[in-house]
Structure 1
């Protein structure tokens, strides 16, 4: 089994990972090397102080404009709209001078009963007691989402265009072939948890927000830098907020969304703005979604110690219980036959293998994987570096697998309170056919003091794999992994940084054992 003990040691402080060439991760220490990487047309920097944050929350500003001359019925209607049954009962109870005494007392008793039931429900599912922002931060794939400058990132599946959601709730769209950088803003675009481009479409971008889903339609040929809010469809369903995860089907015909507050996963037909809830008992909500590249399965994690894998022909699901905690993250192999996932509180990567259902056999009678196999151990490992001992490993925040199936990136949480336990990205070399194999590649590190917060592979990089990393400093960089072992590959239009001079790698890491399905 592959473990961090087989990895080369992390880079000394001051060095940054530039690229992989000839099966070696190359680093740079000089300002010139770093400038080469940062001068890429797709590398960006967002200083925290340049973002204008909201001076007051929506709830706090509401009181400043509240018309206190509203009638009881108007206030009751507003309370029902904003807070549902609980809000209505609370309004009637507090308006005891305007309603009959029996109605006020009855409302108070019912409200107290509902609060006791809610408290009991919250003891079963503690996440239900969190605020919307805290809930998004808890289940986001972004490390330390609440304080992160870049809160979401998404490459377009077919071009070099990408979208960046920032701390101030704005979304910027970058294309190196265009001088225009559209900025998307909407009054409902609050606490953005995820963004994702629609496949086989140049203009549609789905955005997971605090109270709804937005689907922006941004004409790539438009010269407007501030598209109108009329370009965004608003998709919402009662009780389905905050939205923490979204996923398009590979054909772009369907969009699924998840909320930890809702036990149903919503399957949207965006064109008709209608949805079908897929609901199962247990789990306390849905926190994370991932649609397999072949379109056959959808991973649906819950806030509890179980997750489900839906098959999309008959929309039936398999229930997978976890031992310690919830399924934190997951990713699919390019052919959709293998799912890698991690569990909160554990330091390993699991794998599930799915096989195609034979023709003529009903989906409901076909058997999926019987057990999950451990394929990598990421327990804490101590490395000796020129800066002293560094401990790498522990819990996993997120996984990313490139579209060729040859590089797997793992974002390790680290310990924010310990300087010798930094958050770091570990990259594995992988092979899915004819057997599944894992081999250590190395660690991806940024500038001094910067830690990775979010990562994603370019879905159509032509020279291997391109890993985009969003750092705690507000910088976005791109690390290319060139798979060719001979010659120096040329930089393409995707803006890959230039290759630095080759470096030697210790012979200890030249030949390492790897995980394979043939091993017992």
Structure 2
């Protein structure tokens, strides 16, 4: 049995330099004061240049600022109660009613508040996550590093155009295009609070789903419109009372279904968006779900709970195969382009695992667990390379659309690791490059460009608000259809990884 590979296989750029691109397996870097990826390749010259500084963000408001402009007046109790109900909701209206000297109404409101308090205590016993606020839960389960404090929270590339949606910490979604003459739409409304995920709808040029604490908003963004801030009338609101905070959303490859996972709901919802109807996928395990990923073929759906259990669903009959990790929970996962390989990492082990899912073995019966086992592919324990700390627990995994590369974002170290994925003769991860940012920058989120003919293009959102493109180029695609299988074949062809 061969020793598992680790981060010692990587090389850092020269001191003072940062990695800019990879061309035919060779990493090119340049001094951080003179970074210019165009010196090596022009493939990203037409990509939007994005750097969102703090002064471009919208200040977070409580909605009470305008009240200071008006003098207080005496209004009737009923009118005051109606106003509180309309502005702050039912619970605040009960508190207002209980504090007045209206005997019948005040005593009734106090009784209702006491009943609601005991109901909440019972719910807390059944679901401990409810005692935490939404932002705290999102921070704990998010795929984004330092979700609360970093400027960029999510990145999503359009499936058919060079267009990217960027979520910032002011709960805004900005859509940047490669054509500088096109305006930059800003998607923002008061219902859209604490955004967790975004996803463009397949087979559509204009629709994008935004998952947030209290539900999902489907925006319709017309590329030909001259309006920089589309109205909420162009949006479709989807929500369910017990399905929150929404942590992850995923469109089916045909765009006809949208699935969502919520941290305080152990039911996964499958939405018929146009009809605002849902179907439920529910199995006992944990108190909520934190991640869903649809396979590229649309035949399988990955979901993981906030506990040991994760599942692979057969989308033809919605039967599931149950898996468990040794400890903690699955932190992040991604599918290969063929839909037969699942890579994942837990929040307690610095190891990337792989699962080979074979169509002729999985879902043949109703057994609770498959006889297959996950393969430990790569150890990511923290090490020091030339004085720089690299690795640790994984925050996020992303694979490119062609299934040849894996990008890894770590929880508390400041480099992004890029691997080559080899599936033959055995599933392997081969160290490729380490991407480091400017001074004091930390990576917050990663994503791959969906359409990139020259190879693959990794997109990194940095804590400064800067977005970096890291292209991985194959100059002769006709001779490199099996690029990853050919990498150092003499060195790796004899290696095997034994299931644990």
Cα distance, 1:323 vs structure 2:
2.5
Partner of 2:280: helix, strand, or coil?
Answer: strand
Aligned mates of 2:76, 2:360 — CA distance in 1: 63
Query: Residues 94 and 310 from structure 1, CA distance in 2 versus in 1: closer, same or farther, beyond 3 angstroms?
Result: farther
SS of aligned partner of 2:136: helix
Structure 2: gaps (5+ residues):
481-487
Q: Which residue of 2 aligns with 1:398?
A: 396
Q: For 1:73-84, what aligned pairs fall within 5 Å after superposition? A: 74=82, 82=90
Identify which of 312, 325, 330 aligns with 1:327.
330
Which residue, 382, 385, 410 being the options, matches 1:380? Answer: 382
Task: Say if 1:76 and 1:92, in contact at 8 Å, map to a contact too.
Answer: no
| Contact 1:458/1:468 (8 A) holds in 2 | yes
CA distance in 2 between counterparts of 1:88 and 1:224 reads 37
Match of 1:161 among 160, 163, 167: 163
Assess if the C-alpha contact under 8 Å between 1:153 and 1:164 holds in 2.
Answer: yes
- Answer with 465-474 or 61-70: which moved more: 61-70
Match of 1:425? 416
CA pair 338-90 structure 1, distance change in 2 beyond 3 A: farther
C-alpha separation in 2, matches of 1:352 and 1:335: 13
Worse overlay, 28-37 or 136-145: 28-37
For the residue of structure 1 that corresponds to 2:139, the secondary structure is helix
Q: Say which of 304, 307, 313 aligns to 1:304.
A: 307
In structure 2, how many angstroms separate the alpha carbons of the residues matched to 1:220 and 1:79? 34
Instruction: Find 1:438's aligned residue among 415, 429, 453.
Output: 429
- 1:515–1:345 CA distance, 2 compared to 1 (3 A): farther
Give the aligned partner of residue 276 of structure 2: 273
Change (3 A) 1:205 1:486: closer
- Are the equivalent residues in 2 in contact too, given 1:93–1:107 (CA < 8 A)? no
Q: Secondary structure at the match of 2:289?
A: coil
The structure with higher relative contact order (CA 8 Å, sep 6+) is 1
**Alpha-carbon separation, structure 1, partners of 2:299 and 2:243:** 25
TM-score, scaled to structure 2: 0.85
Aligned to 1:345: 348
In the TM superposition, 1:63-462 aligns within 5 A as 69-70=77-78, 74=82, 82=90, 97-99=102-104, 103=108, 106-107=111-112, 110-121=115-126, 125=128, 127-177=129-179, 179-180=181-182, 181-357=184-360, 364=366, 368=370, 370-383=372-385, 385=386, 389-414=387-412, 422-462=413-453
The whole-number CA distance in structure 1 between the counterparts of 2:444 and 2:65 is 31
Contact 1:89 / 1:111 at 8 angstroms: preserved in 2?
no
Distance 1:29 1:358 in 2: 51
Shift of 1:230: 1.4
Describe the superposition over 1:106-132 as per-residue Cα deviations: whole angstroms up to 9, x where unpaired: 54653453344244345xx3x332211
Contact 2:195 2:213 in 1 (8 A): yes
Aligned partners of 1:486 and 1:105: how far apart in 2?
Answer: 72
Q: Distance in 1 between matches of 2:477 and 2:157?
A: 29
User: Number of residue pairs matched?
Assistant: 479
For residue 379 of structure 1, report the CA deviation from its aligned partner: 1.0
TM-score by length of 1: 0.82
Q: Summarize the Cα distance change of 1:161–1:108 in structure 2 as closer, same or farther, 3 Å threshold.
A: closer
**2:461 pairs with 1:470:** yes
Q: CA deviation at 1:252?
A: 0.6
Alignment of 1:15-54 (within 5 A): 15-29=17-31, 31-34=33-36, 36=38, 41-54=47-60
**1:337 positional shift:** 0.5
Cα distance change of structure 1 residues 455 and 108 upon mapping to structure 2, 3 Å threshold = closer
Please provide the CA RMSD for this pair. Answer: 3.4
